[in-house]
């Protein structure tokens, strides 16, 4: 192969890697030292709690970007209820959210609780289209909650891109993909299981993130990014 073509191929590859890295930069969970506030809404659409996420340790390697995420939930009166940690990844513009972010928070747990289990990610491809079926994901976790052995099995499935919609929250407006999904969760305490099934909807803005969720149990929406 002539040297000119080799050089051109190298430049093209470098350009492609740079574009892929840039595709990850806009996600709010991958912006170092950002704080994201999410309102937690009840069935009537009223806020009864909030979740505050803090992003740190953002690092880039080729087309991949990772970040650590600390989360703290507050009740309606502003009292801290529970803390947790998760990890976010983006590779070539494909957003991957740690499934632990979807874990129902258990009273008494904190960011220091030793949760055992592999990091499992839910993927949001940058080239999704209406009608696409997205990948399922399953997760198993175990932890000790003040002397009580607990575990959780969670499956997210039937993920489908239903439509494109413009979504407005107190934090702004975005053109989003409306993604429907189903989830099955079983939390066991000392061997006794409590099942929970959800059919919900996410509104995902490409290159930015999830700005709103809905289900018959309530939902969430971004209210501030600082």
Q: Which backbone phi and psi does 120 adopt, to 5 degrees?
A: -115, 135
Between CA 161 and CA 172, with CA 167 as vertex, the angle to 5 degrees is 135
From first to last of its 226 residues, the chain has per-residue pLDDT tens of 443 333 333 333 233 333 334 468 889 999 999 999 999 999 999 999 999 999 999 999 888 899 999 988 899 999 988 888 889 999 988 999 988 776 655 555 544 555 555 678 999 998 899 999 999 999 888 877 777 788 888 899 999 999 999 999 999 999 999 999 999 988 888 777 778 899 999 999 999 999 999 999 899 999 999 9
Three-state DSSP at 173 gives: strand
Domain parsing of the chain, residue ranges: 3-225
Task: Say what the pLDDT of residue 209 is.
Answer: 94
User: Are the beta carbons of 161 and 128 closer than 8 angstroms?
Assistant: yes
Fold exhibited by the domain 3-225: YmcC-like fold (2.40.360)
Distance CA 125, CA 97 (A): 11
Q: Classify 33 in phi/psi space as left (phi over 0), alpha (psi -120 to 50) or beta.
A: left
Residues 6+ apart with CB under 8 A from 74: 49, 50, 51, 52, 80, 81
């Amino acid at each position: 192969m002539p040297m000119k073509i080799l050089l051109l191929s190298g430049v093209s590859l470098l350009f492609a890697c740079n574009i892929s890295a840039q595709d990850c930069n806009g996600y709010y969970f991958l912006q170092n030292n950002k704080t994201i506030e999410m309102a937690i809404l009840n069935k009537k659409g009223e806020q009864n709690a909030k979740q505050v996420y803090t992003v740190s340790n953002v690092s880039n390697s080729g087309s991949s970007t990772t970040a650590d995420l600390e989360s703290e939930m507050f009740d309606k009166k502003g009292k801290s209820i529970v803390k947790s940690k998760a990890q976010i990844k983006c590779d070539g513009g494909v957003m991957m959210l740690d499934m632990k972010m979807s874990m129902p928070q258990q009273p008494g747990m904190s960011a220091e609780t030793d949760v055992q289990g592999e990091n499992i990610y839910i993927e949001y491809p940058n080239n999704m289209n209406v009608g696409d079926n997205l990948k399922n994901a399953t997760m198993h976790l175990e932890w000790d909650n003040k002397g009580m052995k607990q575990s959780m099995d969670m499956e997210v499935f039937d993920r489908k891109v239903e439509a494109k919609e413009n979504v407005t929250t107190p934090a702004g407006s975005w053109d989003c993909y409306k993604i429907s999904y189903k989830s099955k969760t079983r939390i066991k305490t000392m061997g006794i299981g409590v099942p929970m099934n959800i059919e919900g909807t996410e509104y995902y803005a490409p290159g930015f993130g999830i700005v709103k969720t809905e289900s018959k149990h309530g939902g969430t929406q971004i209210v501030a990014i600082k």
